[in-house]
Amino acid sequence: MSSTVYTMGTALTRAFAGKVPVSLLIEGHWMGGEVVAMDSYGVVLDFEGTEHLVVKLDRVSAVRVMSSMPTTAAAHPTVVGL
């Protein structure tokens, strides 16, 4: 049996690869767009080509991905720290 730890970084990486919009919860506010760049420190979101947002990853409390759950993580969820 295998398992997948589905982290915020994993979600953002998959959203970046699939060009899927996301929303990030930052200090109580949801901010959204398409992930256009990211590294281990931060992420850049583009909002419809009219503006962009640069966020430090340590400020992100939650990630909302505008797509269905990946089948690997859905089939073998791992609960960490609950």
Please give the CATH topology (third level) of the domain spanning 8-68: SH3 type barrels. (2.30.30)
Residue 66, φ and ψ in degrees, nearest 5: -85, 55
pLDDT tens column, 69-80: 776 544 455 555
The pTM score is 0.76
Extract the tokens encoding 78. Answer: 């791992």
Instruction: Decide if pLDDT at 51 tops 80.
Output: yes
**Spatial distance between the Cα atoms of 32 and 76, rounded to a whole number of angstroms:** 28
Domain ranges of the chain: 8-68
Amino acid at position 49, single letter: G
**Spatial distance between the Cα atoms of 45 and 22, rounded to a whole number of angstroms:** 8
